[in-house]
Structure 1
Amino acid sequence: MELLRGAVRPYAWGSRTTISELLGRPVPAPHPEAELWMGAHPGDPSQLIASDGTERSLLELVEADPVRQLGSQCAERWGDRLPFLLKILAADEPLSMQAHPSAEQAAEGFAREDAAGIPRDAKNRNYPDPTAKPELLCALTEFHALAGFRDPGRTVELLRAVQTPGLAPHIALLADQPDADGMRALFTTWITLPQPALDELLPELLDACVQHIKDGGEFGLECRTVLELGELHPGDAGVLAALLLNRLVLGPGEAIHLPAGNLHTYLRGTAVEILANSDNILRGGLTPKHVDVPELLRVLDFRCGDMPILRGEPCATDGLRVYRTATPEFELSRMSWPAAEFSAAHAEGNGSQSRTGPEVPIAAGTPQILLCTEGAVRVSARNRELVLRRGQSMWLAASDPSVVLRPFGSAPTQVFRATDGLAATG
């Protein structure tokens, strides 16, 4: 049980305030900070901070002794690789539109690109590794996203509400076949339009969206999103594709699970994200980066419908909710305690007042990362104890003893726990 120092990733779409404020650093940051990584990703592994202040790479520690760090079951499944990566994601601007492959698609694509001699760090490489990349995102603030293809009937209503002369012929592709095949036909048509056709169609669409908003139409949120994306990415086919996806607004604690083939983009907000430890991304637009349309179409899942919102399943332990999925690489759970009055007793040895509230036991035997996003918690194991404060994270190796979490101080407290999903998925 040791504190972690995560790695800050400075992507252009990030925030100059969110992550710096969380970590207690000067605000604003000198450049956008998009993600805080906690894990053993080879590109930017976290550092373990010993009690004497020395640091060790979590990646090197896992690779040196995977059974002790990951547990025998996890090491047998994934070797010396921690299967999940935990992040804080802080988006001030939309990310690229993207999807991720299944395990089978990733393994086949990786082998194919290796055989073709494409360097693994090449900009046109789709599969830098042979593994799947499912994701789960849980909102910390109001979080806006596009994810999954909307119900075809509802999408036809939206398209007719913003219909233009150029758009009208395309609507029939979905109206005449309101299912996954019709959605595939329409999306394929749009993503492969020649640039001159896009340059003619998109201005018409943006004008129609402006008029729809002025008229107080029912698709105002969707139209505002199209206008925002059109301004940031003029002439991009992803602006059209945004009309086909579920427009989501998540409240704090609400989550979405993005399995293989789910087309999505995050628009803005702050969230905790857990994902498989992979870099495989198939982009579909809203980016200057490489877009491989045939490969994207090969991995996309065109099944349509509402995107399920996860709120976490309550457990026997008060304040603990688990976001269950069928993903073996990870499981995310959330522990929360409301604001509380101090008890009269004082915590031994530090002069602080102790707090009443339910204890949350955390069993040993799996690799785990604890992340505190609000307040502070006392983490106790046998004769050792650490206080995990807002913005701090902690590594629990599989060989570490079980721990107990207790709220520390009177503020509302929230802690996320990341581990593998083998116990839940069998």
Structure 2
Amino acid sequence: MRGSAVRKLDAVVREYHWGSRTALAEMRGEPSPSPTPQAELWVGAHPDDPSRLAGCGVPLDAHLAANPAGLLGPASLAAFGPRLPFLLKVLAVDAPLSLQVHPDRERARTGFAEHGYRDDRGKPEVLVALTDFETLSGFRDPAATRALLRELGVPGLDPMRAALAAGDTAGALRWALREGGAVVDEVARAAAGVPALRHVADLARVHPADAGVVAALLLNAVVLEPGQAVYVRPGVLHAHLRGVGVELMANSDNVLRAGLTPKAVDVPGVLSLLDHRSGPAEAPVVEVDGPLRTYRTPDPEFRLHAVRAGAVLPGDGPQLLLCTGGSVVVARDGESVVLRGGESAFLPHDPANAASVTGDGEAFWATVGG
């Protein structure tokens, strides 16, 4: 088999309590509902759960390590070292994820060396909705939050209101995470009557007495329609609530949690990483070129594209292709691979040969950014 060949992958399904028993199973053509919740489909070469080359079982990270220059290409190798710089996932969210934040590159390196972070890489990420997708992302404009808190009418939130009035969003969050657990019940009852905050009442039903419920009052509540996207920079506080989406990120599993989880939380660590800017949730720049729809972010590690039949995929740098519905055929240099829902492939660096996509399905193409 030529070194430029497209290699079909066997991806890893991760099971967490918040996952769906139907979404990934149905995408992959498996019995539904599944016996346990299936939360994430990992496509890539992260050492915790690398995809494997179909037919031989070789982990993708080991495959790359055997020939990093040839498979990754000189530009990626020079910029990111002998590893795939991005990780592609499908998220199937049936219950809220934790309230969390990710470090940037510099803080990830420090945290890995000094604080036990899982990786030495930052974790920006972009998520494209496959279904209606609900998420919390970034601090809402303080004036809008103050108006919602007035409508909520909970006296116990006065310290949060005072911090917002002083322009101290970080202080409002600090109070919520440290003291907000005492007013969760009252907040939940009041939020059920405020349409813009009903997601807060829903969170309280899942996480009673969790201070993260009160912190959620500060965040933008976003509902994405299929094809729409949200961009989460390092330092942006967020929590995905419900839906199915494709997510591309730097090849990192660094997560610090502030609440809405039975797992350990690290409030001081979260506060140290926070991006305090407020305003609407950030979206990537979307560029459409025929069958190629690109979700552009500023990150050099990755770029995500939605592709359909007729797309031509240039061969510079390492690439992943994931089919999310129907079937597609990816062909390069005289060889082809058929991908059906939930199936994926690795396309090694091959600047002399572009790949073509045919078929009636939809797919997502992950490349190095630029």
Same fold judged by TM-score > 0.5?
Answer: yes
Is the aligned partner of 1:388 residue 2:360?
Answer: no
Q: What one-letter code is carried by the residue in structure 2 that aligns with 1:135?
A: E
Question: Counterparts in 2 of 1:103-252, with a 5 A limit?
Answer: 103-113=105-115, 125=116, 127-175=117-165, 177-178=166-167, 182-193=168-179, 198-199=181-182, 201-210=183-192, 212-213=193-194, 220=195, 222-252=196-226
The counterpart of 2:363, out of the listed 408, 415, 420, is 415
Return the match for 1:320 from 273, 292, 296.
Answer: 292
**Map of 1:80 onto structure 2:** 82
- For the residue of structure 2 that corresponds to 1:257, the secondary structure is strand
The aligned amino acid for 2:311 is V
Q: Which residue of 2 aligns with 1:100?
A: 102
Do the aligned partners of 2:159 and 2:172 also contact (CA within 8 Å) in 1?
A: no
Which one has a bigger Cα radius of gyration?
1
Say which SS state the counterpart of residue 308 (structure 2) adopts.
Answer: strand
Stretches of structure 1 that go unaligned for 5 or more consecutive residues are 114-124, 214-219, 338-358
Equivalent-residue separation in structure 1 for 2:262 and 2:340 (angstroms):
39
For the residues of structure 1 that align with 2:157 and 2:278, how far apart are their CA atoms? 21
Q: Do the aligned residues in 2 keep the contact of 1:97 with 1:285 (CA within 8 Å)?
A: yes
Residue 236 of structure 1 aligns with an amino acid whose one-letter code is D
Unaligned runs of 5+ in 2: 1-5
Alpha-carbon shift at residue 401 of structure 1 (Å) = 5.3
* Displacement of 1:253: 0.8
What amino acid does structure 2 have at the position aligned with 1:325? Answer: T
DSSP 3-state at the match of 1:332: strand
Quick one: distance in 2 between partners of 1:205 and 1:382? 60
TM-superposition CA deviations, 1:71-128 (whole Å, max 9, x none): 1111122222111110010000000000011111111222223xxxxxxxxxxx4x12
SS in 2 for 1:387: strand
**Identity, % of aligned pairs?**
44
Alignment of 1:18-57 (within 5 A): 18-49=23-54, 53-57=55-59
CA contact (8 A) 1:141 1:252 kept: yes
SS at match of 1:16: coil
* 1:305 alignment counterpart: 279
Compute the TM-score of the two structures, normalised by the length of structure 2: 0.94
**Secondary structure at the counterpart of residue 265 of structure 1:** strand
The equivalent of 1:377 in structure 2 is 328
Contact 1:379 1:403 in 2 (8 A): no
Aligned length: 365
Q: Relative to structure 2, which stretch is displaced further, 282-291 or 237-246?
A: 282-291
Determine which of 330, 345, 366 is the counterpart of 2:302. 330
How far apart, in 1, do the equivalents of 2:48 and 2:336 lie? Answer: 31
Question: 1:89 corresponds to which residue?
Answer: 91
Deviation, 1:399, is 3.5
SS of alignment partner, residue 74 of structure 1: helix
2:319 aligned residue = 368
Secondary structure of 1:260's match? Answer: coil
**Larger relative contact order (Cα-Cα within 8 Å, sequence gap ≥ 6):** 2
Secondary structure of the 1:3 match is: strand
Deviation at residue 15 of structure 1 after TM alignment: 0.5
